[in-house]
Structure 1
Amino acid sequence: MEDLKFQKIAKILRIDQKRFKSLIEILNSIAKRDLIEEIYEEKEKVIRDIFLKIFNWYPKSVASEVFNVLFQKIRLDNFFFEQFFSRPKLSSKNDLDNILSFLKTRISYEGFFLKWEKGIEFLRKYPPKNLISFLGAKNIDELIEKEKIEYLLSALRFSESTEWLNKSFEEFSRNLTYEDFEKRKIELICLEPKYKEIAKKFCEHKLHNVSHLKEYGVIFVIPTDLELEGLLFRLLILVFHYSFEIKFYSSIFEKYAKKEDFFRVINWCIKGEVLEEVNQNSILVVQRYLYKDDEWDSRLFLPRVNSEAYHYSSSLKALADFSKEIGHNIDFWKDIDWVGDLFLDENGIEVLISFNLVDVIMNLVEQSRTMKKVIYHQQEAMWNKLFEKTLGQKFSRIFEEFLVQGCVSYDDLLRF
């Protein structure tokens, strides 16, 4: 393990070198090889191959040139999808419905989800005042009569506060049992355009117009008037991502629904809880992107794995397979979600550039509105890569067995 390589990986991951060194010594002993050397050289090869083999060019220093090359690749891929789907307008519910109908032929599985009757019961027990007011209804019964239940439950994500949602669901879930769930297929829906205005702040925070309901098995899209580059490509990867995430949580709900701690487990998952700290002998098992809420969250400087990044890796491979079926190859993106490197900008300042598809798309989409670059998907994927290199095919067990605990000890890893 050469010091310069070690220091560079530590810098990309934003972790204290002393703590990182202790971690790597443990992981090297489990893997029985030098993981930093392996990851560093693989990263270098990937970047070299991207520019030399595909673009016949290798950037020497200027970060803006690297961004431009990655953006151009996104533009080409997005152009193909736009042509395939007949240049859809993402403000049109009809066009979005057509896209989702096509995706349903590729994303169709049964999960373990709350019954719709429980959703109606929830709304009646906890009437969402903002949503009732926004839709001009007299009461919740009028809303339930006029609107599809899946629309209303989806709209709660952006019409009511996070505090209201968490508190209401926590109270409601105290009496949930196995019988309150059923096996049914995942749903892909597009909300009515009338929801656009009330969803505006929600979309700005998430940086996109697609979200999901883990407990009900719903992926929903909000029509958007924005006409920015890469929007369709971004929509596709998000739909595939949420399909894997919903399937994962469905298996957890079914596994724990008959156990005494189901109330704790379902709330842990729905809220996306993360432990505040762990001891020196454990790593965090994170189930959301902490950076999105606070880039200086202290947990971002600790060793960890991330289930969202894990689902994104799976979705990239699925989207690549889907793309081949419809005549386009995006294999370029499917195995580089963890790759990032430091380049110099025009002022000689080091800039971390992510090669992660989601980061690149979001940077392209948002470049006209902000100069700040999205990099957190790559960083979480690189943490996953480190532990995947350590554990091989057993890596997924961390999420399957320890996500609801929030951490995994080094002793547990050794027992894998």
Structure 2
Amino acid sequence: MAKLLRDLLDAEEPLFSLALRQLETASGRPGEDARLVGEIIQKSHQATRQLGLDHSDTTGEELYGALMNRMADDNRRVAAKIGADPSQIDDVAVMMPLIVAAVDRMDIPRSVWVLKRSRAKELLKAMPPTRLMKHLGYRSVDSLLKHEKFDEVYTSLRFSEGSAWLNRYNQLFKAVRPSDFETRDIKVMIMDPDKYAGLAKDFVHKKRHNITHSKELGTIVVVPTPAAEGRMTGLTLKSLPLILHYINEIRLYSAFFKLKQVKSSFGEIVVNTLIADPPAASQMAGQYVHWRVIQRYFGKLEGENHPEDFEPHVHPEDLHWRRAEEMLAMLDPAMSFWQGLDYVGRPEPDNPLSFNLMDVSLAYSNQETYQNRYFYHMRESLWNEIFMRYMGHKTLERQILAQLDNDMVKPEKLRPSL
């Protein structure tokens, strides 16, 4: 049964099978992998039938084409729902304000614990962004901060200053304290194209999308594209899921920073998170577990008691999250087709075929061929799903919580409690 999981993940053997056996032993309940495989097969068959195909005699290329057609139809329909005319659906200048306004209207959690803008300004004064200042025509950082929108300035640093500068700048966070953070709502904004389009050109070309975010500032920005490149296929369902994904990501790290604020190494934790996003928030049966998995697992436990281990700083609302597909289905019920497919894929001779909304929408927008199809988000979701399945057993849940409290980061084989 583990073969399908291994093929979808391109996992290394025998390490993958050994890891599953360790998780089974630690949880005291074998067969989770078989149940997950059964669900993946059932969901892939159902989705294939909904696309009007027979899974038994449909090639991977035919299925990929059907997913692309489905995405094209969904994109047109959702664009119309948020106020676009058919002729406008690829126009970046027209669509992005409609997309941001649609997100602003959604009833979704957006409160986060993030760096105060006043403290962020102090950090910039300590290490002025000279390239950005030159680009915008300022000789002093004080003048830059006085006359420009700060969130635009701050998020543009990744375009203007280069990776070496950013790594040095992130080291300044060693000095931050919990008192430098505050609670406020996530801000979604569109950058001024006249000022930033040229600066962000390489970013847009490299990422092949025009959305980015700052997890420490709690800001999501729409990056402007050059006027000559002002059209983008599948723009609505490329951008909406990305913005919703980044809302979840900012809330994810907000909860993590709140959890770690009692640690004497808080500044170091912030630096390491910003630079490397280390996976070792905890371990489960000898396997590293990212905070993303822990947050999502406990965020799904609606109606159950909130773990006392998170108190007094992390509250149930900090852990609440919804997949992008679920939030899009609130906007357009027909988008429910994609719900529950985030970790679903179909093995193919070369690479898996993903049913994940993000993979399909990005591939459609970028007009990727079947041979160059995307599956990154499916693989990430499947790894997360595997860990969440085993974490549902109380023995492992308690171990996870105990490690979070003790800040364990070194490899160590865990034994189930007796």
**Match of 1:80?**
77
Q: Distance in 2 between matches of 1:369 and 1:68?
A: 9
State the distance in 2 between where 1:393 and 1:321 align: 28
Which residue of structure 2 aligns with residue 264 of structure 1? 268
Q: 1:266 to 1:39 in 2, by over 3 A?
A: same
User: Which of 211, 228, 231 does residue 227 from structure 1 map onto?
Assistant: 231
Q: Does residue 55 of structure 1 match 2:52?
A: yes
- Displacement of 1:129 in angstroms is 1.7
Counterpart residue number, 2:305 = none
Match among 332, 335, 340 for residue 340 of structure 2: 335
Moved more, 246-255 or 366-375: 366-375
- The alpha-carbon distance between structure 1 residues 379 and 189, as it changes in their structure 2 partners (threshold 3 A), is same
Aligned to 1:323: 329
Query: Could you tell me how far apart the structure 2 residues matched to 1:17 and 1:306 are?
Result: 25
- The letter of the residue matching 2:59 is V
Alignment map for 1:119-198 (pairs within 5 Å): 119-170=120-171, 172-194=172-194, 195-198=196-199
1:352-396 Cα offsets, whole Å, 9 max, x none, are 111111111121122359953221111121112222222228799
User: Are 2:212 and 1:211 equivalent residues in the alignment?
Assistant: yes
CA shift, 1:218, in A, is 0.7
Distance 2:76 2:337 in 1: 16
8 Å CA contact 1:63, 1:351 repeated in 2: no
Is contact 1:237-1:316 (8 Å) kept? no
CA displacement, residues 128-161 of structure 1 (integer Å, 9 cap, x when unaligned): 1221122232332232222101110010122122
Q: Secondary structure at the match of 2:123?
A: helix
- Offset, 1:408: 7.4
Q: Residue 203 of structure 2 aligns to a residue in which SS?
A: helix
User: 1:251 is matched with which residue?
Assistant: 255
Equivalent residue number for residue 316 of structure 2:
none
Q: What amino acid is the match of 1:382?
A: L
3-state SS in 1 of match to 2:347: strand
Residue 280 of structure 1 and its aligned partner are, at CA, apart by 11
- Quickly say closer, same or farther: Cα 1:152–1:409, change in 2 above 3 A: same
Q: 1:53 to 1:93 in 2, by over 3 A?
A: closer
Q: Separation in 2 of the partners of 1:366 and 1:399?
A: 41
| Change in 2 beyond 3 A, CA 1:78/1:48 | same
Q: Decide which of 225, 238, 242 is 1:238's aligned counterpart.
A: 242
Paired residues of 1:91 and 1:223 also in contact (CA < 8 A): no
Residues 252 and 400 of structure 1, relative CA distance in 2, 3 Å threshold: farther
Range 217-226 or range 49-58, more displaced: 49-58
Aligned equivalent of 1:297: none
Report the Cα distance in structure 2 between the residues aligned to 1:367 and 1:149, rounded to whole angstroms: 35
Q: Unpaired runs of 5+ in structure 2?
A: 300-319
Equivalent-residue separation in structure 2 for 1:267 and 1:234 (angstroms): 30
Q: Match for 1:80: what amino acid?
A: R
Report the residue type matching 2:104 in the other structure: K
d(CA) in 1 for partners of 2:240, 2:34? 35
CA contact (8 A) 1:310 1:381 kept: no
Q: Which amino acid aligns with 1:331?
A: S
Aligned AA (1:26)? Q
Matched, 1:27 2:32: no
Deviations 1:27-60 (A, max 9, x none): 2232513233222221111111112245253362
Letter in 2 for 1:411: L
1:91 touches 1:193 (CA, 8 Å); kept in 2?
no
Offset at residue 231 of structure 1 (A): 2.0
Partner of 1:346: none
Query: CA separation of 1:33/1:393 partners in 2, compared to 1, >3 Å: closer, same or farther?
Result: closer
CA contact (8 A) 1:282 1:408 kept: yes
CA gap of 1:184–1:415, structure 2 versus 1, over 3 A, is farther
Cα offset, 1:61, TM superposition: 5.1
Distance (whole Å) between structure 1 residues aligned to residue 397 and residue 95 of structure 2: 36
SS at match of 1:228: coil
- Does the C-alpha gap of structure 1 residues 126 and 399 become closer, same or farther in structure 2, counting only changes over 3 Å? farther
Give me the whole-angstrom Cα distance separating, in 2, the residues matched to 1:63 and 1:134. Answer: 48
Distance 1:258 1:316, change over 3 A: closer
Task: Give the TM-score, by structure 2 length.
Answer: 0.80
Deviations 1:267-314 (A, max 9, x none): 1221233369x99962233579xxxxxxxxxxxxxxxx6989999xx8
- The code of the aligned residue for 1:200 comes to K
Look up the match of 1:15.
Answer: 11
**Residue 219 of structure 1 contacts residue 239 of structure 1 at CA under 8 Å; is this kept in 2?**
yes
Cα separation, partners in 2 of 1:213 and 1:28, compared to 1, 3 Å: same
Compared with structure 1, are the counterparts of its residues 327 and 406 closer, same or farther at alpha carbon in structure 2 (3 Å cutoff)? same
- The Cα shift of 1:76 comes to 1.5
Measure, in 2, the Cα distance between the counterparts of 1:76 and 1:350. 28
Which is worse superposed, 366-375 or 249-258? 366-375
Q: How many equivalent residue pairs?
A: 385
Stretches of structure 1 lacking an aligned partner (at least 5 in a row) = 289-304, 344-348
Paired-residue identity, %: 24
- Cα deviation, residue 217, structure 1: 0.9
